[in-house]
Structure 1
């Protein structure tokens, strides 16, 4: 009996310790882990005008995964026509396939350079296009068309020289009132299309020095390939 009397209080204490009230329950919430911040990738695009006397319209650059801005032998899109005849890049940069874009604010003078930046979280499957008009032409343009940049590592650079293209949307008359650049200050975009109506390599400027007396251009406006040097650098 003495053993029972000694153990009973201990047993009762254990029962009381095991029975807590709901008011004393402690709910511990485990905080959700903070996801790592997305990596910021920055591309710098440097464009240099290599011509002697052919200003270029404000440079436009775009990142996209699908599509091309032009195809040799195919008719130019309305957006390309607007760029090639008047230097307006907003249509091309506003295409549905474009994921992000940037445009310079001013034309690029002969011998000058411009830098543009693009920031993204990934380069997977991305292509870069660069577009500009030779403004002392009827419908000449140059640039890079859907260049693969998906494998660029931090610190890597790619340099490319661009060629002159003819949108095939306006005849190369070089006549007064038909060229938007400083050599004429004439009309830019016109919805009418010439008979050829396909993108091709540009045949170059003829000019009044070459016997085309109706041309507002002269030998100072001539150009040869390449038109522009483009360097793409992954900054981070």
Structure 2
């Protein structure tokens, strides 16, 4: 009897010790943190399509910028050096390098009369920025056109917005139409020139005069005249 009692007592002691140990382990085990999943970046992509509506004014390669602040130009205000460079010579590199830019893209080639070009631009995790587009009418001294600061928050996936735009004058070079002052195929002359000769404010362009209308020193002819609008521009959100 005494042996059985001792065995039962020993069994109870062992069981109690195991329970205490288990309780002790549960109390001291650290709580394992639940890993937080890393957010996946989402590409937001837009396509910009420009159609040249002129008769004989090729357009320089498109410059497309997504930005949070600032304007590429403002009617009645002085053109920036970046805009002057593009509007006089068709070089969009300074516009694309502006510090306000969050993303940029360039067309690969000029856009001939009646032709179109589409440029794709992507930014991550942003649907509330602005987009601007600029291009030069290259058979002019400093005419350009495009879209300034459109709010992309207005576009859901699959949505498009289309505009028609008039020609603008950068106001940085006299519209002399003289030989060696126009970079396009009508002349093959000078592009950007740091000297500012004109009114030095951005305005709507009055159009070209040409030698057909009595400007004997003009390298342009009647084919280079243009009516407004000069481009059709569409922005589409594709993802």
TM-score relative to the length of structure 1: 0.92
Q: Name the structure 2 match of 1:80.
A: 83
- Count of residues in correspondence between the two structures: 234
Give unmatched runs, 5+ long, in structure 1. none
Does the CA-based 8 Å contact 1:123-1:151 persist in structure 2?
Answer: no
Q: Name the structure 2 match of 1:8.
A: 9
TM-score relative to the length of structure 2: 0.91
Q: What does residue range 218-233 of structure 1 map to in structure 2 within 5 Å? A: 218-233=221-236
Aligned counterpart in structure 2 of residue 39 of structure 1, from 37, 42, 48: 42
RMSD value, Cα = 2.2
Aligned counterpart in structure 2 of residue 111 of structure 1, from 94, 111, 114: 114
Q: Distance in 2 between matches of 1:201 and 1:158?
A: 23
1:125: Cα distance to partner?
3.1
Q: What does residue range 165-184 of structure 1 map to in structure 2 within 5 Å? A: 165-184=168-187
Does the CA-based 8 Å contact 1:123-1:149 persist in structure 2?
Answer: no
Q: What does residue range 199-210 of structure 1 map to in structure 2 within 5 Å? A: 199-210=202-213
1:35: Cα distance to partner?
2.8
1:163: Cα distance to partner?
1.2
Does the CA-based 8 Å contact 2:102-2:123 persist in structure 1?
Answer: no
Q: Distance in 2 between matches of 1:175 and 1:96?
A: 35
Give unmatched runs, 5+ long, in structure 2. none
Worse overlay, 213-222 or 30-39: 30-39
Q: Name the structure 2 match of 1:217.
A: 220
SS of residue paired to 1:150? helix
